[in-house]
Amino acid sequence: MTPTEYEYLRKFLKDNSGLDLSADKQYLIESRLLPLARKAGLSGIAELVQKLQGGSRQLMTDVVEAMTTNETFFFRDKVPFDHFRDHIMPEIIKARAAKRSVRIWCAAGSTGQEPYSLAMSLKEMGAALTGWRVEIIATDLSQEVLEKARAGIYSQFEVQRGLPIQMLVKYFKQTGETWQINPELRAMIQHRQLNLLHDFAQLGTFDVIFCRNVLIYFDQDTKINIFNRLARQIEPDGFLVLGAAETVVGLTDTFRPIPERRGLYKPNDPRAAVAKPVLAGAAPRMAVVAGR
Ligand SMILES: C[S@@+](CC[C@H](N)C(=O)[O-])C[C@H]1O[C@@H](n2cnc3c(N)ncnc32)[C@H](O)[C@@H]1O
């Protein structure tokens, strides 16, 4: 791959998926895109770049999908799901007692293990949610992972990663070598294609947003832009949950961490944030707060 081809692909990926590759990731591009080029009957990366430049829509989608990292598993990192059960949901249940409705968005839900972990956690809450309207929206950039998420079918290996055995027995049905999550849980989730770089205001507002292990792939300005737009989609008393390697600290004051609960963030009152004096020498973005 020539430096020019690499630069073209880097920019293409940044513009289309947010993926921010450093200058030394040629091997990653080659390992992911060479098999794709061969499958498409192309001689190599050079021809693939030519086709992209020619505007091949299918190839654009395929390249973006091939470069996404879809790693996920049930109850990944455990702690956020403990917080969801022990802190987030008890607060929401109290606060929404009159309305009896809760909306949860699992942004970048990949092949479904994360939204299904949330659905199982909600089911385990039993009577506390009887009569409630519970909505879970799971989105992802990749159509391929969404198809798998919709089907809710997992291999033996996948159900052995993070899923407690009693939940496997209770919520899945075995067919041959695979396990399918039960129809009631599948029906709790709406799976939709969505690129976090694009406008997501149409999704409405949420009580809880899980946005984990996707922002790590983006540069600072993209993260800030997404945090500021997430802040407009979250209820003032809602919760944002980020991955273990992600934080808002130093990027935006639209959210604040809950110190004793790792990975959990509350939206700041935008009026309070706007009224805050800007300190001399502070990075300008720290004072910018998106309107709600
Ligand atoms: C590493 S997985 C994380 C899955 C899950 N949230 C978890 O923590 O286990 C990252 C997911 O983000 C998705 N993704 C990457 N770029 C995206 C974008 N611009 N908009 C929406 N989803 C994106 C990928 O397709 C992938 O499924």
Domain ranges of the chain: 3-67, 79-149+184-272
Tell me the pLDDT tens digit for each residue of 20-43.
999 999 999 999 999 999 999 999
Cα of 15 from ligand 1 centre, angstroms: 16
On average, the pLDDT of the chain sits at 92
Is residue 115 scored above 90 in pLDDT?
yes
CATH 1.10.155 fits 3-67, yes or no: yes
Q: Which of 17, 69, 148, 214 to probe ligand 1 with, by most ligand atoms within 8 A of CB?
A: 214
CA distance 1 to 8: 11
Q: What is the reported pLDDT for 272?
A: 52
Q: How much is the pLDDT for 286?
A: 35
pLDDT in tens, 218-264: 999 999 999 999 999 999 999 999 999 999 999 999 999 999 999 99
Q: Is 270's pLDDT higher than 80?
A: no
Q: What is the predicted pLDDT for the residue at 271?
A: 56
Confidence of residue 288 (pLDDT cuts 50, 70, 90): very low
pTM reported for the whole predicted model: 0.92
| Ligand 1 site, residue 106, Cβ cutoff 6 A | no
User: What's the token pair of residue 107?
Assistant: 């942004």
pLDDT tens for each residue of 145-166: 999 999 999 999 999 999 999 9
Q: Band of the pLDDT at 12, cuts 50, 70, 90? A: very high
- CB 223 near ligand 1, within 6 Å: no
* Mean pLDDT across 70-78: 97
- Classify domain 79-149+184-272 by CATH number: 3.40.50.150
Indicate which residue's Cα is closest to atom 26 of ligand 1.
70
Q: Encode pLDDT of 162-192 as tens digits.
A: 999 999 999 999 999 999 999 999 999 999 9
